[in-house]
A and B are shown apart, each in its own frame.
Chain A
Amino acid sequence: RKEVEQDPGPFNVPEGATVAFNCTYSNSASQSFFWYRQDCRKEPKLLMSVYSSGNEDGRFTAQLNRASQYISLLIRDSKLSDSATYLCVVRGFKTIFGAGTRLFVKA
């Protein structure tokens, strides 16, 4: 089992749709969780941290479920500009990146 696993994707959604990504992790001692966005041929950039209580930033909502060892990212009212690869990052003793989920938002 991989240490961090993400939905395989790609997700193809129309503008305005709501889309959700999940990410599971195997190390129960993991302490910090993040979602990064990576555009084609660009470096990953922090989208948002994931807090135990869940957090929201505009159209984006991130949640953490420690009991089931997964985090999620919800994107509401998808925009064309949301098309990218979304990377789940889990930090404990080591920092592990998920393989990413590709999202395509179409007009």
Chain B
Amino acid sequence: SAVISQKPSRDICQRGTSLTIQCQVDSQVTMMFWYRQQPGQSLTLIATANQGSEATYESGFVIDKFPISRPNLTFSTLTVSNMSPEDSSIYLCSVERQGANSGNTIYFGEGSWLTVV
């Protein structure tokens, strides 16, 4: 398994402001992943954070809106910029670890519950 700590666990923010979410992993990993889960929806991958290079963003997500840092192999941050109520969501950090028989298993941090008012 993996121990992943995220903070803040929840926050209420004013529209137009920005919030940075931190993610700390208990051991070194090559890739860290940021997901969003909007109310009643499934998880959507925002981007993959690679140490030493720019993050790789999925379709519909851009660096200006969701800048990501990856300063070392155990830490990453995701910033939600210029927030609007549509950004109210759970943001989840995740890593992958080798499973016993079926390839890599995904592990998630506790999530950051963001409400934009």
Contact = CB atoms under 8 A, between A and B. Distances in A.
Interface of A: 31-34, 41-46, 49-51, 87, 89, 91, 94-95, 97-100
A98 B42 contact: yes
B60 interface: no
A99 B37 CA distance: 10
A31 B107 contact: no
B57 interface: no
A34 B108 contact: no
Contact of A41 (B92, B103, B106, B113): B113
A49 B108 contact: no
Interface of B: 41-45, 90, 92, 99-111, 113
Contact of B106 (A42, A94, A95, A100): A95
B102 A43 contact: no
Nearest to B109: A43
B108 to A, nearest CB: 4
A97 B43 contact: yes
B45 A45 contact: no
Nearest to B44: A97
